[in-house]
Each structure stands twice: as C-alpha cells, then as structure tokens.
Structure 1
Amino acid sequence: MRYIEGINRKSKIAFPEYIDDYISEDNPVRIIDAFVASLDMIALGFKNAVPKDKGRPSYDPKDLLKLYIYGYMNRITSSRTLEKATQTNIEVMWLLRRLTPDFKSISDFRKDNKEAINLVFKQFVALCKEWDLFGKEVVAVDGSKFRASNSKKNNFNTKSLNRKIKYLEEKTEKYMAEIEENDDKESLDRKPNKEEIKEKIRELKERKEKYEAYKEEIENGKTTETSTTDPDSRLMAVNNNGVDVCYNVQTVVDGRHKLVVDCDVINNPTDHGMLSKMAKSAKEIFDVEELKTLADKGYYNAVDLKICEKENIITYVAKQVFPNSTGKEEFYLDKFKYDKEENVYICPKGERLYSRRQKPIDENTKEIVYRNFEACGKCEFKDKCTKDTKGRRIRRSIDQDCLDIVDERTSENKEFYRQRQMIVEHPFGTVKRGFGITYFLTRGLESVKAEASLAFLAYDMKRVINILGIREIIRRLTGKKAPVNPLFSKHAILFGNIKQLIA
C-alpha cells in the first residue's frame, strides 16, 4: 500500500492571486485588524502616531500593535520570534501587508508605548461594556505570580548577603594561609603559586565589596531585598512551597462571561490592600451603585474590607485562620469566642479573657489586647496554648466588627462563594497554559504592566470571539455587515480542482 504523497516541488501550481484570499472571512486576524483600525492612536498617546515630515519614515504604530496582539494570542511574545513570523506566517503577512520590521523596531514599540498599551486594554474593556457583555453584578478578585526576568541568583537580601560575605571572608583567609604555607616550604604536589592565589584573593575582595554595597543599599533603602537584573522584581512564594523572583499580577473578573475587567501588577508578595482597589475600579467601569465581590483569604484584611463596605462593595472573603505560637489547632485564635455584650473572649476551656486597656480608644488605636494571666497560670493546657510565660494574649483589631460581618456573610452564602474559583481562575489558567505566558520578558514594573495588559487584552478578545462570533464582532466594529469575498470562493474551487488533477 502506498503512502499519501505530496506534490512535486518543481511542478507549477496556481496559488490564489491575492493574499487576502488566503485569510477566510471568519479568521480572528480580521478582528485584530478591525479593532486596531478603530483606535485613535494620537488620543491614546502612541509614539509616532503622527508621521514625521522629515527623516526616515517610521512604522505605523497600528501595524506594530496588531503584530503584538496577534503574537500574544498565538504564543508568540518575543520580538525575535515576531520578526520571524512577519516573514513566514501568512496571517501576519496579511495583517501587516507584508511589512517586515526588525526585532529592534518591534521591541522598541513595546518599550516606548507602555501607558498607551494599557489604555488599549481599557479601550477594549469599554467596548465590552458598550456591547453589554458584563453582568455588572458579581466580580471576583485574585492574584497570581508570574516569574520576572531575574534569576534567584541575582536576588539578594540581608540574610543571603551576610552568608555570602562570611563565605568570602573564610575563603580569603584560606588563601592567605596557603600563601604563608608556600613561603615556608615547597611541595612536590602542584598547588597554585603566589601570584595565582593573590589574583583569587583580589577577585574575592571585589565580590565582597559588591555584596557589601548591596547590603548597604538594602539597609538605607525602603525594601528588604534587591534584584540586580530587574530591580523592581521581588522574591515570592510560588506553587509547591517554592520561591522565585516574581511579580504579583492582580485581576478583577466579571462573573457573567469571565471577562477581565481590569488588571494590575504589583511587586508585593501579599494581596493585602488590593481588594478595594480592584473592586472600586470595576465598580467605576460598570458605573453601578452596588457590586458583589468574591476573594480568597489572601485578601482578608480589616482595613481593606472596611473601605469596601464604605464604597458599597459587598465582599465575600474566606476567613484567615491564624495559628498560635505552639501550633496546636485546638488553641487557634478562631477557637476563642468573643462575647460582644460582656466584651470578653472565652477560651476553649471556658475561661474569660478581659481587656486591661487604660488609654482611651482614638484614631491611632490599631488593636485591643485581652488577657487573664491569673487563669492562665493555673491552666493545665497553658503549654499547648501559648509560649508566653505569663499567659495567652488575644489581640482584637479595632475593625474586627467589620470582619465579623464579612465572616457571617461568607459562611451563610457558601454556595455563592464557590463561584469564585470558576470565575477568577479561568483567565489565569488560559493565559498561563493556553497562551504559554508564565513569565515576563520585559524588566521594570511599568514595562511588566504593559505586558500584562497585552496578555489580558488577548484573553478578552478570544473570549469575545467565543461569545459573539467573528462576523458579528466585525459588524459591530465596522458598523456594517462583514463582506464575503467572491474571489475567495472562486480561487478555492480552482485550487481544489488543481489538487485533484495533480493527485
């Protein structure tokens, strides 16, 4: 039996005459083309949006923006692979009308238009709102770690620097001892000579000076660590209890079609303070009076939740359970019950802990301490409850009443709260697994924000394609029915007949 055979490479074939004939009417690149064509590049602030009168002409920023959107939708994110795509990818050839910018021009476009790219994402979100694709009732907020363009070896904190400096000092002392040993006696075995050892000592001293400079920078600065390749990146905990140098990407996702409403990038490993910011942004975009917001326990912060309550943002957040110093679950903080009427905490063994505060509560008060050292001194479970020699202390936040309201609301609506994962994990899963974007190529917080905007613009665009369909989107973008190219069907039939004749 014969194999399926291809055509002879030297045989003549009648390919379609026009490049447009290769791109079907329901190809997603037509949406990218129509969307970018609808943008006002001058208003968005793109560099070279107005052509120069003199000098060498530049590329139209619309063409480079189309290239990037296509790339992020199709797992092509680096400037060099995008350059190659302009020469080999028929869809990119159609999209850019056979333009072939070099990788430097492509890279510089992303570098020079950070804020404008962020605004393009917001522009598409505004389109989604105009097309009534948002439910405007329920959103979910979450963060995910994306690796930065900085290795762990090029990230330093005080602890790691002290360890490295100590090692270099010990190594230097060892080499100094070897110099003295070589001066005292000669050995038959080949050892580094005096000049070689001095060179190694010089190198060690240079490294030590470099590490000491990093340490001084940390001690005099506002951060507890420094990254030498990407100074804005930070060491963060990632999956499977590992650590890596990352950025924390925040999103707020609408519950109706899982469209990303807004995104942000921070270099803080925790999510504290971001719930109110992201939820308020969604509320302003939707222009609604009330908004239900779902979030995980990483956002369980009294100050942040209090801001949400004031802004009429109804929050559903999992309660964060804090362990005691001994690690015994039966004496965790959540096992101590608060009696609001008597203003006391009741411990798991029935003893009351009282507030001993003498100063009046004012705007500077952060928490109130409850204790009962007399009862703790007699308790047989004291060693399981606390390591404090005097006894257990419970610190109640001044905003605990707000936390109690959120806790009660969340526990009473567990089925509703379970929607959180289905809503907010979908975009991150698609971007990381579907688009292959698990790390950032650019460096610096502002550049990384532009990358994140491109990634979630590509995600939202694919979601809208699945919801409305390509022809409907083009109709809405252009204001007319998507045309059917008669040449496409004619050439397709001709090409099919030629293939049959060759076979």
Structure 2
Amino acid sequence: MYLDKETGELVSYAEMKAMGGLETVPVEVKRDSPLQAYFKRDIEKDIVICPMGQTLFYAGPGQPNGKKDPTIRRYHRLSACSKCPNKCTLGKRRIISFKEGETRKDENFYAKARENKIVRKTNHRFKAITLSEEESSWDEWVILRFYPNQQHLRKRNTIVEHPYGTVKRWYGAGYLLTKGKVKVAAETALSFLAYNFRRVVNLLGINGVMDMVMA
C-alpha cells in the first residue's frame, strides 16, 4: 500500500504507478573507474571497504519492511562519502547492507554512469506503508473513499472534458503517444497550442495573423 501525501489516501501499487509514482528522469553523471568494483566486508574487524578504498563502519542492524533484523548489518561513513571525489551514489552517503556470512557485494553504479543509465526519481508524492504480519496475510483490502461536493465535481469534469475531447477529435488523437506526467503534459500543451493557433487563423485569417506578427 502507498500513502498519497497530497490527499492522505491509501492507494494500491497499480494506482500509484498510474498517477506517476514511478516517474524518473535520466541524470548525467561523470565518474572515473573505481579502485575495485565491489564492497568488501571484513567479518573479523566488522568493517567494509568501499570501491574507492574508504573504510565504512557498522551502523546498526538492517530494517527491511521497517523491522530490525539482526542478521543484516548496515555500514556507512558520512565523513568519507562527503569528501569522496568519485562517489558511488547521488546522495550524501552510501549505506550498504550485508546478510549473515556475506563478504562481498558488486557495485554497478560506475558502469551505469559510463552508459548514461543513472536515473533520479521525480515524483515524491507517495510513501510506501508497511503492513503488519496480520494485515499482510489478508486476502483482500477494501479502500473507502469519500468525495465531498460530488455534484460540483461532476460538473467541473464535464466542463474540462469538453475542450479536451474537442482537441483530441480535431486532430484524431484518440490516445496519447507518450508516458509519464511531464511528457504527457508537454504533448497536451502542444496539442492545445496547435488548436488555439488554428482558431486564431480561422478568426483573423492568414493576413490578420501576419499583420499581428509583423507589428
């Protein structure tokens, strides 16, 4: 389940995805090759050596699904990450977790940077909600939603849908060609710009439009 921070509603994964909760944008990241392409853990000393040779220290047990798990150990070191000229993260620091007996974890951040495959999340509207063991075992969830002023909402929808449907029918655009909130907004804006420009031409004529442009 996911919490919509704007409305306070609980939504499913499918609803969150449909509302742009997974939108990302590519980020240009320049990184040099690391000293080693993995994190190496020394179980006896209880430390981890990062790809750039810095030492990371134990920072408590892991917390998958919000619950502490003593079999998972987390390591990080903010002072080392903040001064690192070739970080393996876009954030302030890198937190790495190791399971019991695990001594090595490969790091592909640098390879992705060379291939321009690093992306950053753009939509922070939703927050994942951790369910209890009892709740997660339920076969079905029922979400009740209350929409005040339903009559006014329907009236507003009819007003908004009319020009939008007119533009789509005008250009034979039965469906959008792009995905994602930003891309869809740009495609829709271009459609309305073309529609408005055509209306201006119909009202003023080519000569009238050219006179306004040259004025």
TM-score, normalisation: structure 1 = 0.14
Between Structure 1 and Structure 2, which shows a larger proportion of strand residues? 2
Q: Which has the larger radius of gyration?
A: 1
Between Structure 1 and Structure 2, which shows a larger proportion of helix residues? 1
